[in-house]
Amino acid sequence: MKNKILKYGIYTVTIVGLILCIVLLFPQVRQMIIELVEQMRHKQQGVYQIWAESLLSYAMGGICLILLFDYCTLTDSGRKIVHKVTHEIKECLSEIDFRSFRKPVIIMSVIYLLGILTIMRANFLYKDDVLYAVSGYREWYNWSRYFIVFLSYFVQPEISMTDISPIPQLLAVLVLAVSSVLLVYVLSDKKITLVSLLASIPLGLSPFFLECLSYKFLAVYFALSILVCIIPFLFIARKKAFFVCSVIGLLIMCMTYQAASGIYLIITLALSFNDWNGKRKDNREILLFLGQAVLSFCTAMVIFKLFLMRANSAYDISNAMFSITQIIPGTLDNIKTYTMNINHDLSLIWKAGIVLVFVLFIIKSTYRSGQKKPASFFASILVISLSFIASYGAYSLLMKPLYADRAMFGFGVFLSILCVYVVSDFKKIAVITVLALNWCFFTFAFSYGNALADQKRYASFRADILLQDLSALYPDKDKDKIIIQLSNTIGFTPAVKNIAKHNPIIYRLLSQDECWDNYYFFVHYNYAPFSTANLKIVIREGEPYIDFNTLDLPIVKKTYYHTIRSDGKRVLVELNEGVK
């Protein structure tokens, strides 16, 4: 009786779900839904038109998901596959001694917590944080980050978000600690040592991931995108379980932060090379594993692309991919730009340490190899090259990818994998080199956090004097109905400039944008109302955008820090950077 109720319940859900999905296939229905949403949210016509295309993909994905669910629950072959996969997953989990993870997780949590201590102390509203803090914005699904939206209601179960820092950053510390421990566990044949744990520090404290940890609202989700790429390798001993967990983990990563998309491939390359170089497996087994991992990756990417990814663009970035004819030259150009950015950002000491790690990786691979020495030598160089390319992930295939430091944290994971490999059962010189490099990253995290605090002090000071001048000029701005635009930036403090002498990445980490400057100077200080109509200016809904820099507005006030131009209605504030 119970089975019949369950069976008919599945039939009912299937029929209802298929009807809803099929109805969404009609363009008239999608248009009607869009218009209804715009009316309910009081938005101007056309704001949600991009949803129409997304609804079509969601409908098609829903149909496929329903059919897959029915196959797995209503057919004998489907139930056998589900039983086999769940059995393999349980077997893999039963073979793991989770209690042995407690101490390593505590150790890495303390290290990562110390590493971001000054960042949390700075209490800095980092870029998008200004928008989230004043608006409660939670619409990350615009960038296909549905899993962030879902989890955010558990991290902060409120309709509108508020600043609950440092909770997200503390959760990020825990997630990064677990990620480091699992990475070492996977790479070191289930052997976890203190040295290997310390070698994994670039995973969470590389200069590139520090930007991710600076976000008060998003830090934990950035960290989670790394963890879900590592977890599938716990099931590597069972083919079906590995495939299913890989696809699920990669889909979660795509719906969290796509910049982590290369981590799965780097780990795959590292494990395959280790097995080949040490003759742990024959070539056929290695190729089968590589094929299975690549198939899992491609399957997840195709599902995401066809059914989940929303076409979107903002400023000079986009998630549109190259055409078939442009994919090779376009990808090469992206990798070139990626390499140039990394080369620019890293200090001379860091570059020297990284090159030494590369050299030690090649030496160890050749010296400890079970293969012929020349073959191992060239194979190790090839693995470094391919892993570096993979560290940028799927972004290398995009026409206008993001080159911010937070989009390049795959390089830090790539470096941590090499460091873990180098320190495993090798000479003391390798351990000293790796730990010295990671100590540089660890101390830089403190410098960066203190620089955030100093830049915050300076930004608050500049906002204070600007708003005082504006208040004196326009004591009743609502009556005057002025429209304000900012031009230029405030520059950096002397402390930040001092850091930049040897660590130029600090300028990119603290990069300034007129968009967020507007929000910080005006909305954050309650001088102007919040508006998402145009992020580049503080403006009332419905006002057309005019760049005031193109107008010859008269100067009404000029100070050391800024120049105010206005015709009584339009106000252009030209910020000065001070001493250069």
Q: How do residues 363-378 score in pLDDT, each as one tens digit?
A: 999 988 888 889 999 9
In a domain, 446, yes or no: no
Is 2 a residue whose pLDDT tops 80?
no
What one-character DSSP code corresponds to residue 371?
Answer: S
**Closest residue by Cα to residue 395 from 225, 513, 268, 245:** 225
In a domain, 394, yes or no: yes
Q: Are residues 45 and 109 in the same domain?
A: no
- Summarize the confidence of residues 112-124 as an average pLDDT: 94
Is 540 a residue whose pLDDT tops 60?
no
Confidence (pTM): 0.91
Amino acid type, 207? P
Point out the domain boundary residue: 74, 100, 135: 74
**Parallel, antiparallel or unpaired: strands 483-487 and 570-575:** parallel
Q: Are residues 318 and 408 in the same domain?
A: yes
- Summarize the confidence of residues 38-59 as an average pLDDT: 58
Q: Which has more confidence, 79 or 260? A: 260
Is 22 a residue whose pLDDT tops 80?
no
Is 49 a residue whose pLDDT tops 60?
no
Q: Are residues 411 and 473 in the same domain?
A: no
Q: Are residues 47 and 178 in the same domain?
A: no
Is 437 a residue whose pLDDT tops 90?
yes
- 352: tokens are 């020297």
According to the model, what pLDDT value does residue 533 have?
39
Q: How many whole angstroms separate alpha carbon 393 and alpha carbon 436?
A: 28
Q: By mean pLDDT, which of 20-34, 84-98, 481-495 is the weakest?
A: 20-34
Q: Are residues 97 and 164 in the same domain?
A: yes
**Closest residue by Cα to residue 510 from 459, 460, 575:** 459
- Summarize the confidence of residues 323-352 as an average pLDDT: 92
Q: By mean pLDDT, which of 19-28, 148-157, 395-404, 413-422 is the weakest?
A: 19-28
Distance between alpha carbon 493 and the CA centroid of its chain, in Å?
28
Q: How confident is the model at residue 536 (pLDDT cuts 50, 70, 90)?
A: very low
- Asked if 241 contacts 377 with a C-beta cutoff of 8 angstroms, the reply is no
According to the model, what pLDDT value does residue 412 have?
95
- Summarize the confidence of residues 527-539 as an average pLDDT: 52
- Summarize the confidence of residues 372-400 as an average pLDDT: 93
According to the model, what pLDDT value does residue 146 have?
87
Point out the domain boundary residue: 34, 54, 74: 74
pLDDT tens digit string along 119-167? 999 999 888 888 888 887 777 777 788 888 889 888 888 777 888 989 9
pLDDT tens digit string along 464-510? 999 999 888 888 766 667 788 888 889 999 999 999 999 999 999 99
- Asked if 423 contacts 305 with a C-beta cutoff of 8 angstroms, the reply is no
Is 276 a residue whose pLDDT tops 90?
yes
Count structural domains, the chain: 3
Q: How many whole angstroms separate alpha carbon 391 and alpha carbon 228?
A: 16
Q: Are residues 117 and 69 in the same domain?
A: no
Q: Are residues 185 and 120 in the same domain?
A: yes
Q: What percent of the chain has pLDDT over 70?
A: 87
Which ranges of 95-166 does DSSP label H, i.e. alpha helix?
102-115, 117-122, 128-135, 146-155
Q: Are residues 258 and 336 in the same domain?
A: yes
Q: Are residues 520 and 383 in the same domain?
A: no
Is 532 a residue whose pLDDT tops 50?
no
According to the model, what pLDDT value does residue 424 have?
85
Three-state secondary structure call for residue 3 = helix
Q: How confident is the model at residue 537 (pLDDT cuts 50, 70, 90)?
A: very low
According to the model, what pLDDT value does residue 25 have?
65
According to the model, what pLDDT value does residue 378 have?
94
pLDDT tens digit string along 279-315? 888 889 999 999 999 999 999 999 998 888 877 766 6
Q: What percent of the chain has pLDDT over 90?
A: 54
According to the model, what pLDDT value does residue 37 have?
58
- 562: tokens are 């800024």
Q: By mean pLDDT, which of 210-219, 222-231, 514-523 is the weakest?
A: 514-523
Q: Please give the residue range of the domain that contains residue 281.
A: 86-426
Summary mean pLDDT of the chain: 86
In a domain, 58, yes or no: yes
Query: Which H/E stretch holds residue 284?
Result: helix 283-303
**In DSSP terms, which residues pair with 485 in a beta bridge?**
572
- Summarize the confidence of residues 448-462 as an average pLDDT: 94
Q: How confident is the model at residue 40 (pLDDT cuts 50, 70, 90)?
A: low
Q: Are residues 62 and 91 in the same domain?
A: no
Is 1 a residue whose pLDDT tops 70?
no
Q: Are residues 399 and 456 in the same domain?
A: no
In a domain, 363, yes or no: yes
Q: Are residues 274 and 369 in the same domain?
A: yes
